[in-house]
């Protein structure tokens, strides 16, 4: 027995051996330390005497079964957390030690005994609680992550479908204006596949005249992180000259820096053409396509204010057709219109491109020569105009001739403002008609 107890004191497990009558025979040091009762004090006591009444009733039951029937039993910590009042050595005895107990029948000396092996599972419990917390945390993280991923997928799908169905061209470009994304519509508009133009700035697709202007605007938008909006001419690869409108807003990376732009591209060619037709109509005479009176006078004012700074001479010519009413009366209005159109185009051809020609009203025309030269040059131009007008005009069924009277006023010689120049030219034109020239 001496040897037995020596061995029993060496193991890191609690050992209690009970005899047939349920009285303590072995009470090892491990138990003694945790039960606060030395082996000598426990010997020959029953469990109830040794521990008081604070024993899990199931432990008492299985000890009885081991002694009476020879059965073994395990009291797991999970279902019986603290069957015996044992406490951590050195602890304050306020809380029982977490334990798990194996109960086995042992036959020695022809006698049935019962062995209790008590394990301290405090550390195991702590570890498993931690493990479970980690598992729970991990599961929550995973759920969060998969929710976020699903949301991301949904929004990406939403965006793709929107981009596919959108009637406008959609594009994304980095801050160097290199295309990263084009929807199908955008590829149609620019006439290039993304794969073909990716990696080079889209600005390079523009005609040289437009590229510099739009690039400045793009760089400004990148620098100031503002919205980019430009209209520009765009020669489509299939040859159509188009007008495009690009609008884009800045995209920021995680550091808040501008990483690129995302926006729309629209074909505004029709809009542009309509606008320029409207503008033309507002400024031009519908029959002859010459400037109208209003527009002409604006050019005149602009030319005078421009001329004040240099020493250019401007000449204002008033041309009135002679006997135009007679052509109208004899050959009809259609013939009259033809005459006006022919005269307009002849005058237009006599003067230089930068000179302005207008139909001033009825059968009156006005010409602004922006660099009139000396009197001699001016006189030769006037003569050329008169000559050109006087050539026969083909009306289809016959030819007619129409003469004209021309009045000239020169800036600054004849006046320093548009009004006086106009009056002067008008007077001289009437003078010419009356044969004063």
Partner 1 sequence: MRAFTALELDALTEAFNLSLGEATAAFSAIVREEIELSVPVVEFVARDELARRLQSGQAGGVEDRLCRINQHFRTGDGFATDALLLFPEQGSLEIVRRMLGEDTSAEHITELEQDALAEIGNIIINSCMSSLADLFGSEIIGSLPSVQSSSVARLLEDKSPDSLILVARIGMSMSAHNLSGFVLFLMDVPSIDHFMAQVSRLFGLPEAPAERS
Q: Cα(226)–Cα(232) distance, rounded to whole angstroms? A: 19
Could you tell me how far CA 370 lies from the centroid of its own chain? 50
Q: How far is the CB of 112 from partner 1 (least distance, A)?
A: 9
Smallest separation (angstroms) from partner 1 to the CB of 53: 18
For residue 301, which of 382, 368, 378 has the smallest C-alpha distance? 368
Work out which of 48, 78, 282, 416 binds partner 1, going by CB under 8 A.
78
Among 20, 136, 349, 401, binds partner 1 (CB under 8 A): 136
Question: Closest separation between CB of residue 127 and partner 1, Å?
Answer: 8
Q: Does 125 bind partner 1 (CB under 8 A)?
A: yes
| Dihedral angle computed from the Cα positions of residues 292, 295, 297 and 300, in that order, rounded to the nearest 10 degrees | -120
Cα–Cα dist 27/44, whole Å: 10
Which of 54, 132, 277, 401 lies at the binding interface for partner 1 (CB under 8 A)? 132
Based on the shown chain and the rule CB under 8 A, indicate whether residue 76 belongs to the binding site for partner 1.
yes
Beginning with the edge strand found earlier in the chain, give each strand of the sheet holding 111-120 in spatial order. 24-27, 14-18, 111-120, 99-108, 73-75
Q: Please choose, out of 78-86, 148-156, 301-309, 399-407, the segment that lies near partner 1 by the rule CB under 8 A.
A: 78-86
Residues that bind partner 1 (rule: CB under 8 A) add up to a total of: 27
Query: Quick one: which segment of 117-125, 153-161, 162-170, 239-247 binds partner 1 (CB under 8 A)?
Result: 117-125
- Binding of residue 65 to partner 1 (CB under 8 A): yes
Q: Which stretch binds partner 1 (CB under 8 A): 101-109, 155-163, 320-328, 351-359?
A: 101-109
154 touches partner 1 (CB under 8 A): no
Least Å distance, CB 56 to partner 1, is 10
Instruction: Rule CB under 8 A: say whether 413 interacts with partner 1.
Output: no
Using CB under 8 A as the binding rule, whether residue 325 contacts partner 1 is answered as: no
407 binds partner 1 (CB under 8 A): no
Residue closer to partner 1 by CB (options 132, 223) is 132
**135 interacts with partner 1 by CB under 8 A:** yes
Question: Should residue 189 be labelled a site residue for partner 1 when binding is judged by CB under 8 A?
Answer: no
The angle formed by the CA atoms of residues 420, 421 and 422, to the nearest 5 degrees, is: 90
**CA of 354: how far to CAs of 32, 115, 140, 296, 349, in Å?**
119, 121, 78, 13, 12
Q: Give me the 12-51 binding string for partner 1, x by CB under 8 A, dash otherwise.
A: ----------------------------------------
Decide: is 69 part of the binding site for partner 1 (CB under 8 A). Answer: yes
Angle at the Cα of 187 from the Cα atoms of 181 and 192, rounded to 5 degrees: 105
Instruction: Report the residue number, 80 or 215, with the smaller CB distance to partner 1.
Output: 80
Question: Of 76-84, 163-171, 194-202, 291-299, which segment contacts partner 1 by CB under 8 A?
Answer: 76-84
Widest pairwise Cα distance in the chain: 163
- Residue 11 contacts partner 1 per CB under 8 A: no
Least distance in angstroms from the C-beta of 72 to partner 1 = 5
Applying CB under 8 A, among 15, 35, 75, 304 the residue interacting with partner 1 is 75
- Give the CA count within 13 Å in the CB-facing half-sphere of 20: 6
Binding of residue 122 to partner 1 (CB under 8 A): no
49, 128, 196, 216: which one binds partner 1 (CB under 8 A):
128
Candidates 16-24, 30-38, 96-104, 275-283; binding stretch for partner 1 (CB under 8 A)? 96-104
What distance in Å separates the CA atoms of residue 404 and residue 433, rounded to the nearest whole number? 8
Partnered with residue 178 across adjacent β-strands are 201
Angstrom distances, CA of residue 310 to CA of 138, 306, 313 = 83, 7, 9
According to the binding rule CB under 8 A, does residue 323 interact with partner 1? no
Which parts of this chain interact with partner 1 (CB under 8 A)?
58, 65, 69-80, 100, 102, 104-105, 121, 124-125, 128, 131-132, 135-136, 139
């Amino acid at each position: 027995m001496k040897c037995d107890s020596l061995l029993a004191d060496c193991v890191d497990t609690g050992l209690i051996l009970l005899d047939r009558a349920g009285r303590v025979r072995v009470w090892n040091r491990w138990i003694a330390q945790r039960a606060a009762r030395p082996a000598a004090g426990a010997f020959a006591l029953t469990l109830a005497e040794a521990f008081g009444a604070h024993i899990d009733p199931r432990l008492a039951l299985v000890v009885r079964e081991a002694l009476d029937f020879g059965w073994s039993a395990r009291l797991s910590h999970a279902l019986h957390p603290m069957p015996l009042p044992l406490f951590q050595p050195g602890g304050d005895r306020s809380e029982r030690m977490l334990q798990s107990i194996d109960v086995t029948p042992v036959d020695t000396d022809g006698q049935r005994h019962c062995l209790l092996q008590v394990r301290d599972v405090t550390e195991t419990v702590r570890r498993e609680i931690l493990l479970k917390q980690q598992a729970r945390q991990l599961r929550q993280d995973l759920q969060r992550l998969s929710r976020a991923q699903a949301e991301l997928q949904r929004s990406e799908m939403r965006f793709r479908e929107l981009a596919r169905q959108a009637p406008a061209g959609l594009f994304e470009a980095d801050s160097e204006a290199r295309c990263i994304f084009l929807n199908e519509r955008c590829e149609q508009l620019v006439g290039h596949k993304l794969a073909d133009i990716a990696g080079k700035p889209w600005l390079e697709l523009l005609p040289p005249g437009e590229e510099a202007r739009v690039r400045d605007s793009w760089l400004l938008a990148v620098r100031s992180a503002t919205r980019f909006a430009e209209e520009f001419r765009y020669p489509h690869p299939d040859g159509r000259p188009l007008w495009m409108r690009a609008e884009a807003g800045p995209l920021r990376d995680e550091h808040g820096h501008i990483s690129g732009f995302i926006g729309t591209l629209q074909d505004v060619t029709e809009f542009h053409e309509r606008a320029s037709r409207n503008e033309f109509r507002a400024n031009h005479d519908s029959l002859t396509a010459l400037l109208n009176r209003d527009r002409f006078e604006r050019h005149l004012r602009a030319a005078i204010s421009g001329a004040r700074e240099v020493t250019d001479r401007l000449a204002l010519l008033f041309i009135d057709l002679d006997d135009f009413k007679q052509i109208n009366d004899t050959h009809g209005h259609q013939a009259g219109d033809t005459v006006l159109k022919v005269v307009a185009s002849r005058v237009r051809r006599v003067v230089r491109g930068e000179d302005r020609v207008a139909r001033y009203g009825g059968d009156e025309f006005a010409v602004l020569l922006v660099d009139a030269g000396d009197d001699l040059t001016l006189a030769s131009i006037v003569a050329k105009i008169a000559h050109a007008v006087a050539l026969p005009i083909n009306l289809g069924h016959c030819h007619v001739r129409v003469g004209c009277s021309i009045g000239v006023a020169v800036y600054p010689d004849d006046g320093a403002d548009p009004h006086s120049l106009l009056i002067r030219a008008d007077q001289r034109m009437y003078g010419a008609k009356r044969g004063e020239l």
